Amino acid sequence: MLQDVSANHRQQYARPVTSVITMANRRDHFLARWGVNRGGHRVELGLYALGNPTADSPVLVTANYTLSFDALRSALAGIDSYILVLDTKGVNVWCAAGKGTFGTDELVRRIEATALQDVVSHRVLILPQLGAPGIAAHEIKKRSGFRVEYGPVRAADLPEYLQTRQATPEMRRVRFTLRDRLILIPVELVQGLLPMLAAAVVSYFIGGFLAAMGAITAILAGVVLFPILLPWLPARDFSTKGFILGEVAALPFALAIFLERPEAAWWLKAGQALIYLLALPACTAYLALNFTGSTTFTSRSGVRREIFTYVPIMAGMFGTSLLLIITFALIGLLGGL
């Protein structure tokens, strides 16, 4: 009887979907990677039927972010299964778990909304490993009767995992390769483009061409160089890594102050060089914090602790550089420059 109920329910409520990634899907992926219509890359919520699933077919859970959904369904080519899509506001599984939208309440709500208990004979949900921070498995069991099972980190490993229901250590290992990091750059670059141009214009009118180039360099270091160099930058937390990279980026500009005006008083040159050594690292380190939400290098509590610890330091460094700029501007007005 359950087989008949499942078939009827699937036809009425489980949307059919294939594992084929179309050109339209690829266009959507490209726009998502470049931050175009960032919140609009979503799929409809609910239950999807991939292939011809039965009451015994596995149920896999994912986010309603198109890249997450498409990565899952394309990895399941040839496997009859159900895909349960949660409302994560168009955010990927890892970030949504951190924000709480890929969470316990939403999963229970979606189970009830799709009457999943009438579709499958088993009571097992396969969730992505990176969704674990947002899920209380015991609460899911208590409130819905479904048991949570965590699949591998990468969707590509699902076919092997579904055969054995055992994840190897390699399947559990979180990798953040150069390719993974490069993928993050376009969206950060697009987001930072207007602020970078604005900072460059303001810096040009305050300190000339060198200052404008300094502003551009600090921002590019934070959104381009930082993710590329992340594993090799010393220190553990992202802020310190950002400070180090920012100081390296600032050094040529600080040295340029001494070379550009050799006749100026040493204290004047030192003070102006200090502006670069304070402002640029603060800017780069602040931008580096953006990547804490894009990687699995940090935990939610660790990110919160890092923000509360280092953002005041960044603000203090940048504020001190502004005071120095105002001071030297006043000295200039008085004829001291």
The DSSP secondary structure of 8-56, one letter per residue, reads: HHHHHHSEEE-S---HHHHHHHHHHHTTTTGGG-B---EEEEESS--TT
**Residue-level length of the chain:** 337
Give φ, ψ of 329 to 5 degrees: -65, -40
d(CA 249, CA 255): 11
> pTM (2 decimals)?
0.82
- Count the domains in the chain: 2
Residues 6+ apart with CB under 8 A from 305: none
Per-residue pLDDT of the chain in tens (337 residues, 90 and over written 9): 455 555 555 556 789 999 999 999 999 999 999 988 888 999 999 999 999 999 999 999 999 999 999 999 999 999 999 999 999 999 999 888 888 899 999 999 999 999 999 999 999 999 999 999 899 999 999 999 999 999 999 999 999 999 999 999 999 988 888 988 899 899 889 988 889 999 999 988 888 899 999 999 999 999 999 999 999 999 888 999 999 999 999 999 999 988 877 777 888 889 889 999 999 999 999 999 888 766 655 566 677 788 889 999 999 999 999 999 888 888 765 443 3
End residue of a domain, out of 172, 196, 225: 172
123 shares a domain with 183:
no
Rg (CA), the chain: 26
191 shares a domain with 147:
no
Q: What would the DSSP string read from start to end of 217-258?
A: HHHHIIIIIHHHHGGGSSSSSHHHHHHHHHHHHHHHHHHHHH
230 shares a domain with 162:
no
141 shares a domain with 275:
no
126 shares a domain with 50:
yes
Instruction: Tell me the residue range of the domain where 151 lies.
Output: 2-172
202 shares a domain with 127:
no
CATH of residue 119's domain is 3.40.50.11600
100 shares a domain with 78:
yes
266 shares a domain with 133:
no
140 shares a domain with 122:
yes
